[in-house]
């Protein structure tokens, strides 16, 4: 199973961001709740089709941030990819209604017959909320957009068939546990369920000891397909 990786950021810059205690000082230590949330992300056990890599988190959305990027890989093809960012403001945030926020971007290329479905944006949004609910996660203040963009090829690329990309941008507030931190490992697993679903992979039951349980009941995936064509 893949393990999540990443790094801390608390408005520090330069190469220090690769150190998990970057920006931490005696007067401004990394909050214990944020550290626990990041440790849970790093310890999450994910499907073998998922490749997770560290990425630089945004610097000004919250005092503390941690980010990973992931792709669903089939051989040399990336069937879907995305980014998940964990934000933390110990003082709380009025719009979040909490001290943590998860922000995501998910992208994939669609088969033409799927792209023609006028209800696809609503279906894709339901995949996100359904992935969270299937793992028994409590969350609030969910918001986001589903965008579809078509590409038509001409000239030297005219032999390529038209392509449609779908992009999900979303954020939600995970419920905090008794220790002050949300169960971010299960949120990451649910997010990876969404990645696999939009990639067209069949749902997989959680292995013993894996975070959460995804039953796959009532889930409709995109047809399995090859990854996006490279220009």
Instruction: Supply the pLDDT for residue 148.
Output: 82
Instruction: Supply the pLDDT for residue 5.
Output: 46
Instruction: Supply the pLDDT for residue 154.
Output: 84
The answer for 97, left when phi > 0, alpha when psi is -120 to 50, beta otherwise, is left
Residues facing residue 102 across a β-bridge = 86, 172
Distance between CA atoms of residues 161 and 163, nearest Å: 6
Instruction: Supply the pLDDT for residue 153.
Output: 77
pTM confidence score: 0.78
Distance between CA atoms of residues 185 and 87, nearest Å: 14
Distance between CA atoms of residues 57 and 68, nearest Å: 8
Residues 153-205: tens digit of each pLDDT:
787 888 877 777 889 999 999 999 999 999 999 999 999 999 999 888 887 75
Strands (E), 114-176: 139-151, 163-174
By C-alpha distance, which of 78, 68, 76 is closest to 185?
Answer: 68
Answer yes or no: are the C-beta atoms of 108 and 80 closer than 8 Å.
yes
Residue numbers of the chain with a pLDDT score lower than 70 = 1-28, 112-116, 205-231
Strands (E), 75-131: 77-93, 98-110
Task: Output the furthest CA–CA distance in the chain (Å, rounded).
Answer: 61
Instruction: Supply the pLDDT for residue 2.
Output: 55
What tokens were used for 55?
């990425």
Helix segments in the chain, DSSP class H = 32-43, 112-115, 120-134, 184-199
């Amino acid at each position: 199973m893949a393990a999540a990786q990443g790094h801390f950021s608390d408005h520090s810059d330069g190469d220090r961001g690769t150190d998990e205690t970057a920006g931490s000082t005696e007067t401004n230590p990394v909050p214990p709740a944020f550290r626990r949330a990041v440790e849970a992300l790093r310890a999450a056990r994910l499907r073998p089709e998922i490749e997770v890599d560290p990425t630089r988190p945004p610097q000004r959305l919250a005092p503390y941030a941690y980010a990973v990027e992931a792709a669903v890989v089939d051989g040399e093809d990336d069937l879907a990819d995305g980014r998940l960012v964990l934000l933390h403001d110990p003082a709380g945030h009025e719009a979040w209604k909490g001290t943590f926020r998860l922000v995501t971007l998910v992208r994939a290329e669609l088969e033409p017959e799927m792209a023609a479905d006028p209800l696809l944006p609503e279906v894709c949004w339901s995949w996100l909320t359904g992935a969270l609910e299937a793992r028994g996660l409590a969350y609030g203040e969910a918001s986001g957009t589903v965008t579809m963009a078509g590409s038509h090829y001409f000239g030297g690329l005219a032999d390529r068939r038209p392509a449609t990309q779908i992009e999900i941008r979303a954020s939600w507030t995970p419920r905090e546990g008794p220790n002050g931190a949300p169960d971010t490992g299960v949120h990451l697993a649910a997010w990876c369920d969404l990645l696999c679903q939009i990639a067209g992979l069949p749902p997989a039951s959680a292995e013993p000891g894996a975070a959460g349980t995804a039953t796959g009941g009532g889930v409709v995936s995109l047809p399995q397909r090859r990854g996006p064509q490279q220009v």
